[in-house]
């Protein structure tokens, strides 16, 4: 990993670290998606499971209750998120928090029987490297359960900013097919894969910005440091978004991809 890539990963961790105390109160959609994924989880009996991007651990207790005999590694790139989870009493029993990067998992090969990740892996730019790393740590016959936003997410915000300037204000999201193909190339096969469109509505642009900052999702991958948004540009963004207003408010669309992958057992 280059120094530029490491700096980018640190920036992601810092963004989410600043949102540690506010995340749970604003991550309504993220938590709903995690609960949906939990309902999709097949009958498994893993000895060791890994939660990548656990955050403050809002669904950790539900996972541990679902699999009471499983040892869990609750991994996140943002240490403040893990500390908040400890304060909230979420990492107990056989669940151990670990601060590490999904692109450099601190695990030996073929160790993990279940990898779980909800609304986290989209922050990894190098999709082939990520898929290879996940497959590396999975034991033969292991299961990967994931959900994450894909292409089409936040398109109203992206289109509104495009009317203001040419700078990147919304991150690139891979297509669901990109994820399925990368994981397939890493040696995993899809058991279940489907994408759900979810549309939220907000009273104004400020409320959208508050939600993104409070969940850490406002960070944008850039080759240079962002400049300050002037009042004129912000007003132009508001005007552009207002043209998209519906009776329910300002729309914000999420395309959420759910998938269960398996690693073939050793013959």
pTM of the model: 0.90
At residue 130, the pLDDT reads 97
pLDDT by 10-residue block (mean), the chain, 267 residues: 57 66 84 96 97 94 95 96 94 94 96 97 94 98 97 96 90 95 97 96 95 76 52 93 97 97 88
From CA 211, how far away is CA 214, in angstroms rounded? Answer: 5
At residue 22, the pLDDT reads 80
Phi, psi of 175 (to 5 degrees): -75, 155
Dihedral angle of Cα 237, 238, 242, 248, to the nearest 10 degrees = 120
At residue 224, the pLDDT reads 44
Phi, psi of 260 (to 5 degrees): -120, 120
From CA 198, how far away is CA 212, in angstroms rounded? Answer: 16
At residue 115, the pLDDT reads 98
At residue 222, the pLDDT reads 46
Report residue 259 as tokens: 């998938």
Among 85, 50, 54, CA closest to 70 = 50
At residue 226, the pLDDT reads 47
Residues in the chain: 267
């Amino acid at each position: 990993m280059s120094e530029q890539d490491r700096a980018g990963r640190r920036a992601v961790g810092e963004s989410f670290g600043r949102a540690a105390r506010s995340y749970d109160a604003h991550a309504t959609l993220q938590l709903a998606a995690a609960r949906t994924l939990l309902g999709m989880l097949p009958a498994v009996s893993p000895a060791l499971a890994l939660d990548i991007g656990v955050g403050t651990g809002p669904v950790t207790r539900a996972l541990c209750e679902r699999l009471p005999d499983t040892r869990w590694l609750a991994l996140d790139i943002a240490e403040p998120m893990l500390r908040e989870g400890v304060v909230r009493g979420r990492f107990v029993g056989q669940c151990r928090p670990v601060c590490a990067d999904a692109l450099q998992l601190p695990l030996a090969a073929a160790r993990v029987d279940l990898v779980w990740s909800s609304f986290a892996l989209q922050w990894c730019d190098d999709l082939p490297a990520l898929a290879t790393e996940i497959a590396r740590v999975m034991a033969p016959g292991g299961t990967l359960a994931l959900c994450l936003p894909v292409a089409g997410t936040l398109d109203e915000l992206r289109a509104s900013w495009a009317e203001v300037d040419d700078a990147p204000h919304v991150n690139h999201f891979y297509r669901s097919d990109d994820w399925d193909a990368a994981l397939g190339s890493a040696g995993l096969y899809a058991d279940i894969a489907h994408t759900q469109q979810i549309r939220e509505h907000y009273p104004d642009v400020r409320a959208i910005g508050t939600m993104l900052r409070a969940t850490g999702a406002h960070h944008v991958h850039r080759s240079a440091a962002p400049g300050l948004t002037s009042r004129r540009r912000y007003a132009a963004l508001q005007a552009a978004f207002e043209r998209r207003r519906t009776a329910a408010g300002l729309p914000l669309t999420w395309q959420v991809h759910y998938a269960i992958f398996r690693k073939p057992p050793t013959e």
